[in-house]
Structure 1
Amino acid sequence: MRAGRPAVITGRAVVALASVAVIGLSGYGWSLLNQAQTHLTTDDVIQHHTPPAAVDTIQHRDGQDTNFLLVGIDSRTDVHGNPLPPDVLASLHAGPDDGYLNTDTLIVVHVPGDGGKASAISIPRDSYVDIAGGYGKHKINSAYSIGMNNHNGSQTEGRKTLIQTVENFTGVTIDHYAEINLYGFDLISQALGGVPVCLNHAVNDSQYSGAVFPAGQQTLSGVQALQFVRQRHGLDNGDIDRERRQQSFLASAVHQLLSVGTLTSPSKLNAIIDAVQNSIVLDQGWDLLQFAQQVQGISGGNITFDTIPIVNITYWTPADGDAVQVDPVQVKEFVAAKFGDGPATPSSATTTPPSSPTGKAAGDGSRKSPIVSGTTTTSTTQQPITATGVTCVN
């Protein structure tokens, strides 16, 4: 990884998959989706195994529950390996290509087989965890690159390393994998005709993400949408506030899919499918038609969004600099409760960051001096995020 590089973290993966789900609800959509299935990029990355932490692993209650790992990757190419045009990269404020593929969006979605409420849990990109394969502790967004670079540049092995790392960390068996690149988010948000968002305060982050927005509700698409969900500089809780933005955006996008005539608009359906075909990678066993039937509840707003508990968002590490400190035992308990296999827990849990000795906002990767980590995770009361409207965030 490279310190100081602008991070791109978005809800583009969930938006893409939710788009697929909604498309599948219409007669025309079924035909279009069936055609699209044959042109999607897939990879053989799901290993049917029992994760090492088997005793703590969340098992499917009735054999029909499904867990999806949704990943946003900062690739400067499309899924076919074609480089994105320089003007596109410039408009996305993507920064230079340093040869690393970091996964800046990580969301585990649990869809119960009994038709109950689905749950989506975000994992902050800088969570300091054990990387599967014996590579030691690093930020979780480096798992993909570590696996790839240690297997002769194989992206398949990178994806497998990431999946196994998430499984070990959360105690969840991953059934399906979806990966979407940087440009895909731009295309999909435009295909939706824009997504309504709401800010509690005006923001000006022209130096890093390019996000310059007034307070209140507004509709964003393309580059502006990407800027909205990328911003972390200038936010009180850095990456954690960005997680909330990501969740609110994708929830609003799902709501938007049902409220703007997408189901009856062949042009919008075609635009979404075209964006998905050029920007998304699925595991080989993912049947989109079956998926569309299974997640109709998600597209109807029957999903909640949370972030894993955080111990400290300014945890100093010798090799990786500032990271997000997490407690794996606490994370497993939290995920089990949210996915219906454990006792109830608070809806959100984050730690207020300590003051930075350099005066920089928490989560700023440029800080190099040590920070003493906290030892207790505290809860905060925030408006729940669901796919039933627009939630205002910082």
Structure 2
Amino acid sequence: MIYCSAVRNRRILWWIVGACVVVLLGGGGIAIAVTSGSGDGKPDASGSTPAQPGPLATSAAPPPPSPGADITGPLDLVLIGVDTRVSIPDWEPHADTVMLLHVEADLKSAYLYSLPRDLRVKMPKYAKAGFGGGTYKLTEAMSRGSRVPGSKKHSVEQGYELLTRSLSSYTGIEEFQAGAILNFGGLAKLVDQLGGVDLRIDERVESRHRKPDGSMRTLRGGDYVGPQAVYQPGERHLEGWQAIDFARQRYGLDDGDYDRTRHQRQLVEAILTKAHDQGLGQNLSQLEGIISALGDTLVYLGGRTPLEYAYALRELTADGITVVDLPGAGVGRGGGYLGEQLTAESRGFLKALVAGNPDGYLAKHPKLINK
């Protein structure tokens, strides 16, 4: 269990949401933006009241620095969404959603963006999995990397390692400090724990998977049949299954997976807004329920603990996050579909990010900013 002290000045629970979005940290695990004890006599996370110095108190040794106080930016974090239970030992993972969060050196501003699951990337050789390298869809990196030669078992950690190496090769980002893998069930639980979310739906979306009552549609002949849940444009309140169902759809949309990743980023923002509006950081019982609800639907990977990263990001607010769209288009050979490639403008943003000038680039390419 992870505890936190009161969250102030619209400081957000970035790592809880990041773990959910995978759909990033976002890149990530479950972590909560925290502040160190204020010494104001208010109860701390354990429910006790810090002792106050008496009138004859002498100077005391300064308290040790909070865990994570030594973490510096910039940071690059990965959120990975999957549609299978992450706790199944022989599960072969596929990265259905890859969302990245770049946090600037001041740890107060960040850029949230997605890469298409079918993006064609060069994957390096990976001896642990007996993988010889090559150019494949990004979603395949986890599955190819997860294979254990001579065994039917799969290693999520290996899959994550090949995925991040492939991301480094494509984006030029040398290191990803942490990552989170979350399935759709875990994200639905989070939304329900918040009492649903309010989302501005920007286009009509028909569900491939769910009926209007939330039950699964019938799979017949390789496709789903029967009545469909439909999400109409406008301001909508969505419960857990609706929010996840809406955010995972790509078929029937004008821009397919690009529309889907935009909807997923919008869902992240809606979750952040709901968490802030509820003052979630100051409600320990509700916060504990949310963390417990995620259970084994989450795998966290990173060298430091989630709580340490959470403390480091305690001043990252929703206003400090710029959501970026990276458009692309399909590529093929001989009439066959091979995958996706980003536009030159989108690739330019990644170069600017690595070079430390994303703000300047977006000033010249404002259409990439998702408003």
Q: TM-score, normalised by structure 2?
A: 0.69
Contact residue 179 and residue 302 of structure 2 kept, 8 A: no
Paired residue for 2:197, among 186, 195, 201? 195
Question: What corresponds to 1:124 in structure 2?
Answer: 116
Deviations 1:195-224 (A, max 9, x none): 211123433335679541222111212211
Native 8 Å contact 1:197 1:249 kept in 2: yes
SS in 1 for 2:139: helix
- Partner-residue secondary structure (3-state), 1:108: strand
Displacement of 1:144 in angstroms is 0.4
The equivalent of 2:214 in structure 1 is: none
* Residue 289 (structure 1) aligned with residue 307 (structure 2): yes
* Unmatched 5+ stretches in structure 1: 1-9, 33-61, 84-98, 349-378, 386-394
Residue 146 (structure 2) aligned to one of 145, 148, 166: 148
- How far, CA to CA, are the matches of 1:130 and 1:150 in structure 2? 21
1:276 aligns with 2:294: yes
Other-structure match for 1:41: none
Classify 1:201/1:108 alpha carbon distance in 2 versus 1 (closer, same or farther; 3 Å): closer
Query: Which residue identity lines up with residue 65 of structure 1 in the other structure?
Result: P
The alpha-carbon deviation at position 20 of structure 1 amounts to 4.5
Change (3 A) 1:68 1:19: closer
CA contact (8 A) 2:29 2:179 kept: no
Aligned to 1:384: 370
4+ aligned runs moved over 6 Å, structure 1: 15-19, 26-29
Q: How big is the shift at 1:381?
A: 3.5
Query: 1:295 & 1:111 partners in 2: Cα distance?
Result: 9
CA distance in 2, matches of 1:191, 1:67: 28
Compared with structure 1, are the counterparts of its residues 206 and 330 closer, same or farther at alpha carbon in structure 2 (3 Å cutoff)? closer
Aligned match of 2:34: 24
Helix, strand or coil at the partner of 1:286: coil
Which protein is bigger by CA-based radius of gyration?
2
- State the shift of 1:136 in Å: 1.1
- Aligned-residue Cα RMSD (Å) equals 3.5
For residue 303 of structure 1, report the CA deviation from its aligned partner: 0.6
Residue correspondence of structure 1 range 242-261 to structure 2 within 5 A: 242-261=260-279
Q: Distance in 2 between matches of 1:107 and 1:29?
A: 34
Hey, what's the Cα distance between the residues in 2 that align with 1:338 and 1:108? Answer: 12
Q: CA deviation at 1:104?
A: 0.9
| Structure 1 residue 146 displacement after superposition | 0.8
The whole-number CA distance in structure 2 between the counterparts of 1:142 and 1:18 is 21
Residue type of the alignment partner of 1:323? G
Partner secondary structure for residue 241 of structure 2: helix
Q: 1:12 to 1:137 in 2, by over 3 A?
A: closer
> Which AA in structure 2 matches 1:342?
N
- For residues 22-53 of structure 1, the C-alpha deviation after alignment (integer angstroms, 9 at most, x for no partner) is 46359789559xxxxxxxxxxxxxxxxxxxxx
Shift of 1:143: 0.3
CA contact (8 A) 1:254 1:301 kept: no
Residue 267 of structure 1: CA displacement? 3.3
Task: Say whether the 8 Å CA contact 1:107–1:121 is kept in structure 2.
Answer: yes
Q: State which drifts further: 102-111 or 335-344.
A: 335-344
3-state SS of paired residue (1:103): coil
Scaled by the length of structure 1, what TM-score is found?
0.65
Q: 1:275 to 1:31 in 2, by over 3 A?
A: farther
1:283-322 CA distances to partner (integer Å, 9 max, x unpaired)?
2523222222222343443111113352x2x322589835
| CA displacement, residues 347-391 of structure 1 (integer Å, 9 cap, x when unaligned) | 89xxxxxxxxxxxxxxxxxxxxxxxxxxxxxx7947734xxxxxx
CA distance in 2, matches of 1:123, 1:197: 22
Shift of residue 276 of structure 1? 3.4
Q: In the alignment, what sits opposite 1:227?
A: 245
| Alpha-carbon distance in 2 for matches of 1:346, 1:23 | 27
SS in 2 for 1:70: strand
Q: How many residues align?
A: 297
1:337 and 2:349 correspond: no
CA distance in 1 between counterparts of 2:336 and 2:179 reads: 27
Distance 1:337 1:12, change over 3 A: same
- What are the superposed Cα offsets for residues 251-293 of structure 1, whole Å, 9 maximum, x if unpaired? 1211221112312333320121113342211125232222222
Residue 114 of structure 1: SS of its match in structure 2? coil
* SS at 1:250 equivalent: helix
> Residue 11 of structure 1 aligns with which residue?
21
> Which 10-residue stretch deviates more, 333-342 or 285-294?
333-342
Aligned ranges for residues 20-169 of structure 1 at < 5 Å? Answer: 20-22=30-32, 24=34, 64-75=73-84, 77-79=85-87, 81=88, 100-133=92-125, 134-149=132-147, 151=149, 152=151, 153-169=154-170
Distance 1:276 1:286, change over 3 A: farther
**8 Å CA contact retained: 1:127, 1:324:** yes
